[in-house]
Amino acid sequence: MTVFRYDKTFEGLLSALFDAYVRRTFPDQLIGPGEPAPLFTHEMYEVMTRTDAAERVWKGLEKKLGRRVCHQLTHVWLSEQAGGDELLMRYMHKAFDAPQSIAGDFTDDDVLQVKKIAQKVAKEKERLIQFVRFQKAGDGSYFAPVSPLYNVLPLSIGYFTDRFADQRWLLYDTKRRYGYYYDLQRAMEITLEHDEALLKGWLSEEMQAEDEKIFQERWQSYFRAVTIRERLNPKLHRQLMPRRFWQYLPEKR
């Protein structure tokens, strides 16, 4: 069994594929730093992540598959699903070796799985955009906690920088403990050393703006006013608004 060890980054995965073609040996399994080698490993190769190699592979994929399909590959990576990197390795290997694009060949299980996972991630991105609720902090900036099923925060930042270009805001993924801060110029990725208060999802009264509680109460009143109790359908409600988002919705408090 041939095993490649890489740094578990997308750039590292592309570098691993580049090295596989150079060596003319493709991995049977991929592992990350510190992971023990599988039983019956007869060759272990350490991948060095290189930006030039990764860019060369990515440009080749865009030429072979097109940008739309390449977006599906990044969606699969952000799904963080077990074995996702090995699925991508097989898919990219097939894409380069095929005489034409494999994107529409759904008789291939890897192609089908990439499409299905990418669709799930894209749907989670849309749900994240729908269910974000900003809280106004005392300094005039806005804070919104999120905890999506997949790592879709990078996919949604473009929407928020366009939609809220005139406001300073922080979107923080409490599950993965990182976020993006927009300073009216650009959105930058940040991590907070002391984020225990933010992990709860709600700003304390000391951190809130004076009128934030009023806005939350008005939003809750509006939500109650438009609710028709005779037409309540809890099952449909959970399908359209999954429970995992409820903890950050003021109308659900």
What is the model's pLDDT at position 208? Answer: 84
Residues 6+ apart with CB under 8 A from 241: 131
Spatial neighbors of 81 by CB under 8 A, at least 6 apart, are 117
Instruction: Give this prediction's pTM.
Output: 0.90
Domain extents in the chain:
2-123, 132-252
Q: Per-residue pLDDT tens for 94-105?
A: 999 999 999 999
Residue range 149-155: mean pLDDT, rounded: 96
Q: How far apart are CA 218 and CA 223, in angstroms?
A: 9
Q: Is the pLDDT of residue 199 over 80?
A: no
Mean residue pLDDT of the chain comes to 92
User: What's the pLDDT at 119?
Assistant: 98
* Cα distances (angstroms) measured from residue 97 to each of 3, 25, 64, 74: 21, 14, 10, 20
At 195 the pLDDT is 65
| Position with higher pLDDT, 37 vs 196 | 37
Q: pLDDT tens digit string along 206-242?
A: 788 888 888 888 888 888 898 888 888 989 888 888 8
Per DSSP, the residues of 36-75 read: PPPTT--EEEEPPP-HHHHHHHHHHHHHHH-HHHHHHHHH
What average pLDDT does the segment 152-159 reach? 96
Is residue 29 scored above 90 in pLDDT?
yes
Query: Would the pLDDT of 155 be above 90?
Result: yes
Q: Give the pLDDT of residue 215.
A: 86
The proportion of the chain whose per-residue pLDDT surpasses 90, expressed as a percent, equals 72
Which band of pLDDT confidence, cut at 50, 70 and 90, is reported for residue 128?
very high
Between 218-222, 242-246, 249-253, the lowest mean confidence (pLDDT) is in 249-253
